[in-house]
Structures are given as structure tokens and as C-alpha cells.
Amino acid sequence: MTTPQIGTFISSWHELGVAVPTPWGVTQACESQVLSLMTRLDAGYRRQGDHAIHHTAVVEPGAVLKGAIIIGPGAFVAAGAYLRGGVYIASNCIVGPSCEVKSSFMLDSSKLAHFNFVGDSLIGANVNIEAGAIIANYRNELEGAVIRIRHAQATLDTGVRKFGALIGDGCRIGANAVIAPGAVLEPGTRVPRLGLIDQFAYD
């Protein structure tokens, strides 16, 4: 069984100092991971309870932040965005109007356009996700079955019921595409508009 190495998908991952080895391990403990990262932030961040927002970031009125949240330099979070459950937004990221991000990491210069849902996922740098695209995190049609992933000619049993995706640097996901729970996207992957990526191991 070959577990995806986060650092081979997200080149700057090791700079964060998150020691959890599996993508689903990180997202399961996202709240505590973000709180731990807060202890190492520099003086450029303003602390408001469990939120740390860089002084150059913009969070518009009407955005909702719940739980441990870090928003990095130059990032933009639009009105109507909803961040919850431990969220790390790195420098120069955009979370557009009516986007929901739950228990996820977004690395530098990645963008959610608007009307997106990202659940329990790791998103690399310079990823662009167009309007309406969804990164789902729960197998509703299988009554929340444990997520098993086809990857590198093997089946990975994550042992968790909620995990979205590991999305490598530079991926492009088209409008209204669906990334089904348990996806692993190599860096530079292109997903067309209305596309479906489903790597679940049903057998």
C-alpha cells in the first residue's frame, strides 16, 4: 500500500512543519493543527480568539469564521464565505463569495471563485477552482462508508469517513466539477467544467 506523500503533491508542505504523515490524518486533526501553527506566527498577525489574521489580509464584513482559523498575508476572504473546523489560508489566497471551507489547508496563491464547497482537503499552491466546483468529503450514497482510494495501482483504506481530496500544486478545476471523496490529484491536473473525479475503491 503506497500512501500519497503530501510533500510530493504540495512542494511547500514541509515548510509548515505539520508532522502528520497522511492527508486524511491532517484533516481529521485540522483544528488542533491550526492551533499549533498559531503558536509560531510572527507579529504581523492579529489574534482574535481562535482566529489569526495577517494585517495585510482582507476579510470582508459578512464572512463567518468558526473555530481555529489562520488567514495569511495578502489573502482575501469575501462576504458570505464560511470557514469552519480548522482552516489554514496561506498568502495571497482568495476565498470568494458564498464559499464554504471546512477543515482544510489552502497553500499560497490558490483561489476559490464562488459557490464552492471544500471539505476536509489539502489544496496545494497556485490551484484555481472555478465557480460551483465541489470537493465533497462524505459518501452520502454509501451511508458514510469508510473512504477507500484507488491510487498507484493499490487500494488505500483511510480508516476515516470524511476526507475530501489531496490536490497538488497548479491544478485547475473547472466550473461545476465534482471531486468525489477520497481523490488524489497529481500536480498540474486539469479537470474540465462539469467533470467528475471519483477514485473510490468500491470493491
Q: Annotate 44-91 with DSSP letters as a single string.
A: TEEEETTEEEETT-EE-TT-EEESSEEE-TT-EE-TT-EEEEEEEE-T
Q: Would you name the residues annotated as active-site residues?
A: 114
Among 20, 39, 17, smallest CA distance to 28 is for: 20
**Three cell numbers, residue 92:** 495571497
Answer whether 67's CB lies under 8 Å from 85's CB: yes
CA distance 41 to 77: 19
Query: One-letter amino acid identity for 63?
Result: A
**Three cell numbers, residue 107:** 497553500
